[in-house]
A and B are shown apart, each in its own frame.
Chain A
């Protein structure tokens, strides 16, 4: 997901000058791009010590919090955009955090590995859990505790009264708008509260 082209595709969804909250911001690479190239301001939330340090080194504002404890620190609609890039699949309370994303942000952007990507389907058909570049873990040590597909997210969004304003897949740095559920390793959604 650190692919530079993917980063640019996501950054392009964020309006210039937006106030951004990046949930699970990792080493702060996306926020760094948003600040330098799109004039955005904001904060990253991160739990990992090494990532917090990396963010500080980049000069990105970072707040060390466990997202499973919720977003009570943030007021309703206090950010233009709330990002969850490769975060959703690690969260115990993924659905609550999706609602929180929509509460705190005027717009939400979520990206996560699409388990319905065709190589994954082939693997499961062969009777094996997929191990790919995008999903490099064995079934017994994966940090991805939420396993979902592009199509599944659409249902979850509707269930939580979210209106999807854009949705596409990302594969090898390119946007996939035709049959993304089968053709893309990453699912990407931009949504607002309905």
Chain B
């Protein structure tokens, strides 16, 4: 959907003539009361569920969560997936043309925040004629958007489901983002963000950014269980199996990270990576309330389900508990499940019956359509 009117951004800039890519699943009921908005994280899109016709491998990124008979049942709810501004999966982003200059945005794409994304999503709901959502839901950065929704538009949802998220990033998290950004920005093919004009892609930077990301999405235990010290191929005439090289791929974990990095660099946009990690860094709703999350959460009116995973060290249970405490301080309805899963941050995208059953039960028993 295209929006001509300028959207004022938190930075003071604005963006006009922009497009938001979105998909819907299920049917909006006559009362327009059964809509569920799904907010995506760093590397995802509006394609949250199902497959495209003739493309059997095109499952949506939250296909185990959303669909007919799934925890968020599209036989009951009208589910909306929307791609955020600045992303690279269909909505207006840095690879598109700036209407003022006629040139590709590149590094001139305005810095967007979680709050800006929520404002853009709210305009989409306006256009779809949806005044109030049954629920807003997201994991990780998507959970931040869901949380922000409850503060920016407290009347526009009855429930919020916030999974593996945090009320802001801690220094270690910002540090990881910064390493990833430096990898991209210092790639000679980056050209200050205007690499499109040079017909190159800063793939080296993107690969390293993705490798770092992947390390932080897994837990130590899972990485050891999956890869351990396994070698990719043993050298026959050596007792150790080592090749005694410094640049070859020898360990399985190296092979896995390089594969993930290569794959990512083929489809992800470098400027998008910078923009989205910056939005993560900036999110901090307590900031305008003297650092008090409880004061910030006083704006929220809806009911909450929070879920975290014990081995998630990127968005640890402690951070979800801070949100829970803020909601308790404000006497809001909240349930919180802390799932003892081994998979680290990635767990929020994986098939774990304890996790999926809690979300299913919450929607079935608490969220009227």
Interface of A toward B, CB cutoff 8 Å = 19, 41, 43, 49, 52-53, 55-59, 61-65, 73-75, 78
Contact = CB atoms under 8 A, between A and B. Distances in A.
Given A52-B358, A53-B361, A56-B358, A62 B335 contact: yes
Nearest to B329: A75
A63 B308 CA distance: 11
A75 to B, nearest CB: 7
B336 A64 contact: yes
A2 B111 CA distance: 57
B204 interface: no
B365 A64 contact: no
A49 B361 CA distance: 13
Interface of B: 305, 321, 324-325, 328-329, 331, 333-340, 354, 357-358, 361-362, 364-366
B365 A43 contact: no
B338 to A, nearest CB: 4
A61 B333 contact: yes
Given A52-B358, A73-B321, A73-B328, A61 B365 contact: no
Given A53-B357, A53-B358, A56-B362, A65 B325 contact: no
* Complex A-B, nearest 4 residue pairs according to Cβ-Cβ distance, in ascending order: A56-B361, A64-B338, A63-B336, A57-B361
Contacts of B366: 56, 59
B65 to A, nearest CB: 16
11 contacts: A19-B331, A49-B337, A53-B361, A56-B305, A56-B358, A56-B366, A57-B361, A57-B365, A58-B365, A61-B335, A74-B328
A52 B365 contact: no
Contacts of A73: 321, 324-325, 328
A61 B333 CA distance: 7
Per DSSP, chain A at the interface is mixed
B331 A56 contact: no
A55 B335 contact: yes
Contact of A63 (B335, B340, B361): B335
A163 B11 CA distance: 57
A61 B334 contact: yes
Contacts of B324: 63, 73
A57 B358 CA distance: 8
Contacts of A74: 328
Given A53-B357, A56-B366, A58-B365, A65 B333 contact: no
Contacts of A75: 329
Contacts of A63: 324, 334-336
Interface centre among B324, B334, B335, B339 (most CB of A within 10 A): B335
Given A56-B337, A58-B365, 8 more contacts: A53-B361, A56-B361, A56-B366, A59-B366, A62-B336, A63-B324, A63-B335, A78-B328
A73 to B, nearest CB: 5
Contacts of B336: 62-65
A65 B334 contact: no
A62 B361 CA distance: 13
A112 to B, nearest CB: 26
Contacts of A58: 365
Contacts of B325: 73
A74 B294 CA distance: 12
Nearest to B332: A61
Nearest to A47: B338
Contacts of B321: 65, 73
